[in-house]
Amino acid sequence: MLQSTRPLEGITVISLEHAIAAPFCTRQLADLGARVIKIERPGVGDFARGYDTRVSGLSSHFVWTNRSKESLTLNLKDEDGKKIIAKLLEEADVLVQNLAPGAAAGLGLSAAVLHKKHPRLIVCDISGYGEDGPYRDKKAYDLLIQSEGGFLSVTGTRDDMAKAGCSIADIAAGMYAYSNILAALIKRGRDGKGSHIDLSMLEALTEWMSFPMYYAYQGASQPVRSGAEHATIYPYGPFTAGDGKVVMLGLQNEREWKVFCEVVLQDPALAADERFSNNSRRHENRDALRALILKMFADMTAEQVVARLDEAQIANAHVSTMQDIWDHPQLAARGRWTEVGSPAGALPALLPPGVNDSYDYRMDAVPALGQHTDGILASLGYGAEQIAAMRERGAV
């Protein structure tokens, strides 16, 4: 085990968070050593705790995005609740929030107000559409942003659109919030000043849509929905072998096309067929080419197809299920699994992407609702009787 100090040790993050975008951001800050105090509603908590019970009675979303945090229950509308968060912010480096539009400002927690008292504080507001503009007050959930951001128009089949199987808009927003906060910390280290980060889910996802947007530049037709195939490169996608299993493969250039014909299809003359002589023609004639490929693969098992693809050094992949990922030999070989604690006991967890040779990631427990409330309040000078009284009336 590495012993070096983690990059964000000594950094305190206060997060008024729920669902995925903000929790995913702050979990990654915690991975790097930051102390993350998660503010949750007394008795209820982050509503993502109740999304499902698939992980030994815990929510799959919550387990994923909330390890290594401290859970503090706090009613921010209560006078004592307001005093407590004010005390926390005196020592905080970062405030992250993804409450409903205008909610943080209504609680006196806008960047403009906070920076008068705490000029070094980094405030990151995550919302669906940003703090201004005609969509400012619209509610935003992941699927709605996938739709508004154009993702659904290029994803699915020709007949049916399809959402991403994971919360891609939330993830995009969480990633950009995370990287913006890291940049703001570097900046503060240079000039001593805090920052306000206005992070929009729509803008995060539309950044990821830049290829199809440029493809449709100046009114040109946009990429068609093409299922698991690439919209503009062919052959690039799933092909079924004779044993019924699917192999995913992808060609990127004309050299690979020539080798694919020679080694995989064992038909060198096909490389010179005028219908398929460059990617544009292969794309235009993909139905005819697909039929030829499937005819060849019909007499082979999926593993035989993969063997030929590997011989030709053509990129390929299995179509993994979630169980395949749990059992994936590459993840196991690289030691990517560890365990974290939780209210349900020890749980397997993937280490964060990126192996750094100077420190280990922080991989602490997923907290129970309010698990750290008494300890945090005691550190702020509250006695046991005061804490009990506040809990009795629902302030914490």
Contacts of 239 (CB under 8 A, 6+ apart): 246, 247, 248, 249, 290, 293, 294, 297, 305
Across 31-35, average pLDDT: 98
204-215 as b/e, with b when 16 or more CB fall inside 10 Å?
bbbebeeebeee
345: left (phi over 0), alpha (psi -120 to 50) or beta: left
- pLDDT at residue 2 in the model: 57
On whether residue 122 sits in a domain, the answer given is: yes
For residue 230, indicate whether it is catalytic: yes
The three-class DSSP label of residue 8 is: coil
CA dist 40 and 42 (Å) reads 6
Question: Going by C-beta distance under 8 Å and a sequence separation of 6 or more, which residues neighbour residue 122?
Answer: 93, 94, 95, 181, 184, 185, 188, 194, 195, 197
Evaluate if residue 32 carries a pLDDT over 90.
yes
Kindly state whether residues 117 and 247 are assigned to the same domain: no
Above 90 in pLDDT, residue 229?
A: no
Which distant-in-sequence residues (6+ apart) come within 8 Å of 260 by Cβ? 235, 251, 312, 314
Determine the average pLDDT of the residues in 18-36.
97
Same domain, 146 and 256: no
Domain boundary among 262, 286, 319: 319
Q: What CATH number has the domain bearing residue 300? A: 3.30.1540.10
Q: Rounded to an integer, what is the distance from CA 193 to the centroid of its chain? A: 28
State the catalytic residue, choosing from 115, 196, 230, 328. Answer: 230
- Domain membership flag for residue 1: no
Domain that holds residue 198: 12-209+330-392
pLDDT of 360 reads 96
Place of tokens 């750094």: 356
Summarize the confidence of residues 118-135 as an average pLDDT.
96
Q: Is the pLDDT of residue 1 over 60?
A: no
Give domain status of residue 7, yes or no.
no
Q: Quick count: other Cβ atoms within 10 Å of Cβ 382?
A: 20
pLDDT score recorded for residue 388: 94
CA–CA separation, 228 and 225 (whole Å): 9
pLDDT at 221 over 80: yes
Whether residues 67 and 141 fall in one domain: yes
Residue 4 pLDDT exceeds 90: no
pTM for the structure as a whole: 0.92
pLDDT band, residue 232 (cuts 50/70/90): confident
Treating both helix axes as pointing N-terminal to C-terminal, what angle do 168-191 and 201-208 enclose, rounded to 10 degrees? 100
- The mean of the pLDDT values for the chain is 95
Number of other CB atoms surrounding residue 346 within 10 Å: 12
In a domain, 227, yes or no: no
pLDDT at 227: 84
Look-up: residue for tokens 């960047």?
111
If asked whether residues 16 and 162 sit together in one domain, one would say yes
Model pLDDT, residue 3: 57
Token digits of residue 18? 């729920």
Look at residue 228 in the predicted model and tell me its pLDDT.
87
Per-residue confidence (pLDDT) for residue 231, from 0 to 100? 83
Q: Which tens digit of pLDDT belongs to each residue from 58-106?
A: 999 999 999 999 999 999 999 999 999 999 999 999 999 999 999 999 9
- Same-domain check for residues 162 and 306: no
Q: Do 268 and 337 sit in the same domain of this protein? A: no
CB 202 within 8 A of CB 129: yes
Question: What mean pLDDT is predicted for residues 31-39?
Answer: 98
Find the CATH number of the domain harbouring 34: 3.40.50.10540
Selection from 338, 344, 342 nearest residue 362 by Cα: 338
Is there a single domain that holds both residue 124 and residue 163?
yes
* Number of structural domains found in the chain: 2
175 and 110 housed in the same domain? yes
Residues 176 and 315 in one domain: no
Q: Which of 291, 319, 347 is the last residue of a domain?
A: 319
Same domain, residue pair 302 and 335: no
In a domain, 350, yes or no: yes
Q: Which of 165, 167, 174 is nearest to 27 (CA)?
A: 174
pLDDT band at 285 (very low <50, low <70, confident <90, very high): very high
Q: Are residues 119 and 162 part of one domain?
A: yes
- 347-383 per-position pLDDT tens digit: 999 999 999 999 999 999 999 999 999 999 999 999 9
Domain membership of residue 221 (yes or no) is no
Containing 97, the helix (H) or strand (E) segment is strand 94-97
On whether both 284 and 387 belong to a single domain, the answer is: no
